[in-house]
Amino acid sequence: MSGWIILGLIAAIGIFAVTLYNRLVGLRNQVANAWKQIDVQLKRRYDLIPNLVEVVKDYMSYEQETLRQVIEARNRAQSANTGAVTHESIQAEGALSGALGRLFALSENYPNLKADGNVQKLMEELTGTENKIAFARQFYNDSAMSMNNAVESFPSNLVARQFNFQKAEYFELPEAERAAVQQVPKVDLR
């Protein structure tokens, strides 16, 4: 009789371990899928930027440095994007977002640029893509948090350690961009 109890206990522990393992696999796949969703939008962004810069550069002859920074940031982000989440790819994407933000802000100073239909269309497409990237990043970070909670929580951490499940890296703002976001803009309504 005690043999059956021990055998039942071992089977229950085995089923529990398999359930935890399958949950960890599902979370790892969810994190990978979330990154692929970001990757799709980043590809679209990479394709739109050269077109926007080409159209804008005729209007912004005095802002060639900003345009150069956007192109360099795009190239760095594209080369850092290996299809996997890395600290370098996250930093490069943050730098590109900052450069695009500066380009958008500068474009407000050029009425002819704002009136151009091609520029408006490209800016709308890029803004829409940036919004999709923001939502995809949020989903990715939520997925990473779920994965990290499972990897660190007991008893799933025992299974995670045994099968080498790793914590996912969050998509965070680079320090320079975080400092820029924290600065309060001055508004003069006069």
Global confidence as pTM: 0.76
Q: Is the pLDDT of residue 110 over 80?
A: no
Query: For the chain, what percent of residues have pLDDT higher than 70?
Result: 89
Pick the residue with more confidence: 163 or 112? 163
Q: Are 15 and 21 in contact (CB under 8 A)?
A: no
**Boundaries of every domain in the chain:** 30-176
Q: What is the pLDDT of residues 51-96, one digit of tens each?
A: 888 877 777 766 778 888 888 889 998 888 877 777 788 888 888 8
User: Cα separation of 40 and 100, whole Å?
Assistant: 18
Res. 187: pLDDT tops 90 = no
> 159: how many CB neighbours lie within 10 A of its CB?
20
pLDDT(122) > 80: yes
1.25.40.10, 1.10.3720.10, 1.20.1440.20, 3.10.450.50: which CATH number matches 30-176? 1.20.1440.20
**Amino acid at the residue 19:** T
DSSP state letter for 185: P
Task: Report the half-sphere exposure of 11 (CA within 13 A, side-chain side).
Answer: 6
Stretch 94-101: mean pLDDT, rounded?
85
Q: Which residue has the higher pLDDT, 89 or 140?
A: 140
Which of the four pLDDT bands, split at 50, 70 and 90, describes residue 190? very low
Tokens 């021990």 identify what position?
Answer: 6
| Of 3-12, 66-75, 174-183, minimum mean pLDDT range | 174-183
The pLDDT value recorded for residue 174 is 61
Show Cβ contacts of residue 156 under 8 Å, excluding neighbours closer than 6 positions. Answer: 20, 23, 24, 150
Residue listed under structure tokens 């995809």? 136
